[in-house]
Amino acid sequence: MSAEAHNDPPVSLAPGAALMARRFRGFLPVVVDIEAGGFNAATDALLEIAAVFIDMDAGGTLHRGPTHGYHVQPFAGARLDPAALSLTGIDPHHPLRPALPERDALQRLFRQVRHAVRAYSCRRAVLVGHNSAFDLTFLNAAVVRADVKRNPFHPFSTFDTVALAGAALGQTVLAKAVTVAGMDWDAGSAHSAVYDAERTAELFCHVCNGLRGSYLRAHDRARELGWLDAAPSEPLDERPQPKS
């Protein structure tokens, strides 16, 4: 057994574990934001990675959970595009930058994700991102490059908040979607992996909570079709009541 397997912390089930395990078909949404030294995952450095967990309370409402963020050392031979560094404001070689090797950063992050997956009785994590294909491509490239085992994320499925926000709010730019949803946006903090991941998590929760009625109707229909057992998906007093 690998050293990674021995370091997983003990798990107690979260209050909303039964509901979360049903909500996304056994997948646990975890928001990931990556800041990189360019747009090519095969050649450009991964410089920051942040993950924000999505929590669910006992009533079935989603909330932004804990954040884990790491500065990452450019891998040997990595390309650093000056335009990308200007956009993010990252100085990869700053002497006070507390950066970790890719393998170390990913192992630490994945350990936390695996713990959350078990705490919510889920089978696997699914990456949530704003332009999620970018983040997943960089994450998968780093996993291969650093030879990291036990990746808890689905290898190709994602929840993209660009699509969710476009459908629910009519906006696809993160700053505009967050703003029209009634949340604060600080342009000066943007392009930090932690800040962008936390705003993306809040946006994801806002959209999913707004779709709760639609989800419950679909869940009941799935149960009628025999796809699920007869247990209710949420406490009955939490369900939208029909108008008299």
Q: Average pLDDT of 88-94? A: 95
| Domain boundary assignment for the chain | 3-210
φ, ψ dihedrals at 159, nearest 5°: -110, 115
Please measure the distance between the N-terminal and C-terminal CA atoms of the chain and give it in whole angstroms: 60
pTM for the model stands at 0.89
Q: Residue 123, SS3?
A: coil
Has residue 243 got a pLDDT over 50?
A: no
Query: Which of the four pLDDT bands, split at 50, 70 and 90, describes residue 12?
Result: confident
Mean pLDDT estimate for the chain: 91
C-alpha distances (whole Å) from 83 to each of 23, 90, 136, 227 are 40, 11, 22, 50
The per-residue pLDDT for range 126-157, each reduced to its tens digit, is 999 999 999 999 999 999 999 999 999 999 99
Please, which pLDDT band fits residue 7 given cuts at 50, 70 and 90?
A: low
* Identity of residue 30: V
Position 228 confidence tier, pLDDT thresholds 50, 70, 90? confident
Residue from 110, 100, 112, 111 nearest 47 by CA: 100
Please report which confidence band the pLDDT of residue 231 belongs to, taking 50, 70 and 90 as the band edges.
very low
Closest CA to 185 of 200, 207, 168: 200
List active site positions: 191
Q: What is the pLDDT of residues 41-79, one digit of tens each?
A: 999 999 999 999 999 999 999 999 999 999 999 999 999
3-210: CATH class: alpha beta
d(CA 188, CA 195): 10
pLDDT, average across residues 156-177? 98
Question: Phi/psi class of residue 220: alpha, beta or left (left: φ > 0; alpha: ψ in -120 to 50)?
Answer: alpha
Distance CA 201, CA 22 (A): 19
Determine the pLDDT at residue 53: 98
Residue 118 has pLDDT above 50, yes or no: yes
Q: Determine the distance from the C-alpha atom of residue 80 to the mean position of all C-alpha atoms in its chain, rounded to a whole number.
A: 25
Which H/E stretch holds residue 177? Answer: helix 174-180
237 against 204, higher pLDDT = 204
Q: Does 5 have pLDDT greater than 70?
A: no
Opening angle at CA 37, ends 32 and 42, nearest 5? 80
Of 151, 124, 116, the C-alpha closest to 12 is 116
Assess whether pLDDT exceeds 70 at residue 28: yes
pLDDT in tens, 173-201: 999 999 999 999 999 999 999 999 999 99
Tell me the pLDDT band of 10, cut-offs 50, 70 and 90: low
pLDDT of residue 9: 58
Q: Over 70: is that where the pLDDT of 3 sits?
A: no
The 153-160 sheet, strands edge to edge: 99-100, 62-72, 46-56, 27-36, 124-129, 153-160
